[in-house]
Structures are given as C-alpha cells and as structure tokens.
Amino acid sequence: MIFTRTIWDTIEPYFLKKEAWGEPDKISGFLLLILHDIRLRSSWPMIIHCGTQGKHCKGSYHYKGLAVDFHFKPPNNSISFRDQAKFLMQYLIDMQFSNFTGLGIYPEWKHPGFHLDCRESKARWLKQNGEYVGINRF
Ligand SMILES: [Zn+2]
C-alpha cells in the first residue's frame, strides 16, 4: 500500500488550506496534527487567526511555520475562555506535548484565543493588560 494522503487531506474538513495560515505549505505537519487532534477531542470549531503571516517578534516561530494563533468557537459560547485554556493545558500534559510546545493565552484579543507552537522546550505565558505574565496569574 502506498500512503498518498497529504497532511491537508488528513485534517480536512476541520482545517482547510484556504484558511488564514499565511503560507499553508510552510506550516509544520506536526503542528497541524496537534491542532487536528485538539479539534477532534474538544469538538469545538477553531478559527485560525494566523500562521506564517502577520507581525510577530523577531525570530518568531510563526515565520518558521511552527506557530499558529487561533480561537475556539464552541456552540452558543458554551465553554468559558478559562475552561478552554484549562482544556488546552491539560491536553498538552496528557499527550506528553508539554515539553515541546509553547502556549500563549490571550484573553484580551478581539476574539480571545491562543498561540500554540512546536519547539524544543516548554513555554507558557499569558498576555494581560498589555504585559506578558506567568499563566499562574490567569
Ligand atoms: Zn502567535
């Protein structure tokens, strides 16, 4: 048997290339698989804000195709943002992704959401009142 499905075939219909990824072919397949798994387990639709495009800090994982910003859109806003953040943090622990991921929590975005990236270490942060603080403040 020859494996001919691409990552994009694998993660449709939940994620499509035409969404706001910037350059979708540059996005890490590992990151896309994680996003897909989060989508399946949470059952919450996910709206992609950006992948490789947009303005980020110098050397950002975004430019390497290793980071995505998004928000969840649970039906009827039935899940609080705090519970969404808790779900994500617990998910990363349960799946043993903790030490290889960066997770940023952004409650003050127009659509409160998250930054998720693949990296060689663990990073967690919260942006509140325009400042980056530890997630224990959340
Ligand atoms: Zn980001």
Mean pLDDT of 79-100: 97
Report the distance separating Cα 109 and Cα 114, nearest Å.
9
Residue 62, in any domain of the structure: yes
Residue 2 binned pLDDT confidence (cut-offs 50, 70, 90): confident
Residue 87, in any domain of the structure: yes
H or E segment to which residue 12 belongs:
none
pLDDT at 18: 98
Residue 40, in any domain of the structure: yes
Residue 137, in any domain of the structure: no
Residue 53 has pLDDT above 80, yes or no: yes
Residue 12, in any domain of the structure: no
Residue 13, in any domain of the structure: no
Distance 132 CA to ligand 1 centre (A): 13
Q: What is the pLDDT of residues 90-117, one digit of tens each?
A: 999 999 999 999 999 999 999 999 999 9
Distance 5 CA to ligand 1 centre (A): 28
CATH number, domain of 52, equals 3.30.1380
Distance 113 CA to ligand 1 centre (A): 10
Residue 8, in any domain of the structure: no
Residue 52, in any domain of the structure: yes
Residue 125 has pLDDT above 90, yes or no: yes
Report the distance separating Cα 19 and Cα 21, nearest Å.
6
Contacts 24+ apart (CB under 8 A), 93-96: 95/34, 95/37
Range of the domain at 100: 20-130
Residue 59 has pLDDT above 80, yes or no: yes
Cα separations (Å) of 124 from 31, 45, 85, 106? Answer: 16, 23, 11, 11
Counted domains in the chain: 1
Distance 103 CA to ligand 1 centre (A): 9
Mean pLDDT of the chain: 95
Alpha helices in the chain (DSSP H): 7-11, 29-42, 81-94
Sign for the pseudo-dihedral over CA of 86, 91, 96, 102: negative
- The whole model's pTM is what? 0.94
Q: What is the pLDDT of residues 60-69, one digit of tens each?
A: 999 999 999 9
Distance 119 CA to ligand 1 centre (A): 13
